[in-house]
Amino acid sequence: MEHLNTLQQLGFALPTPAYLFGLIFFGIAGYALFRHGRKAGLPKVKWIGVAMMLYPYVVTDTVGLYAVGGLLAVAAWVMRKP
């Protein structure tokens, strides 16, 4: 427990379960979009999938994670037809 307090004093914090769930969910969804876009010949959907897999490395806030993920999912839905 002492190590956890030391890390928190240094500014490190463990992610919340909601953040971890979003990280896994949007990573899997991004991979699925990437595969679908590649097989269907939809480059925009493919690149949205790549963005969905990589953006959690930049966004550290849980609300931001879900907001950006939702926007990317809507963008993929709009771009699903050629």
pLDDT tens sequence across 44-58: 999 999 999 999 889
Give domain status of residue 61, yes or no.
Answer: yes
Would the pLDDT of 3 be above 80? no
Asked if residue 68 is part of any domain, the answer here is yes
In a domain, 25, yes or no: yes
Q: Is residue 4 part of a domain?
A: no
Instruction: Quote the pTM value.
Output: 0.81
Q: How many domains does the chain have?
A: 1
Short-list 37, 65, 64, CA closest to 50: 37
Instruction: Report yes or no on 37 lying in a domain.
Output: yes
pLDDT for 82 equals 66
Pick from 50, 45, 49, 53: nearest CA to 27: 53
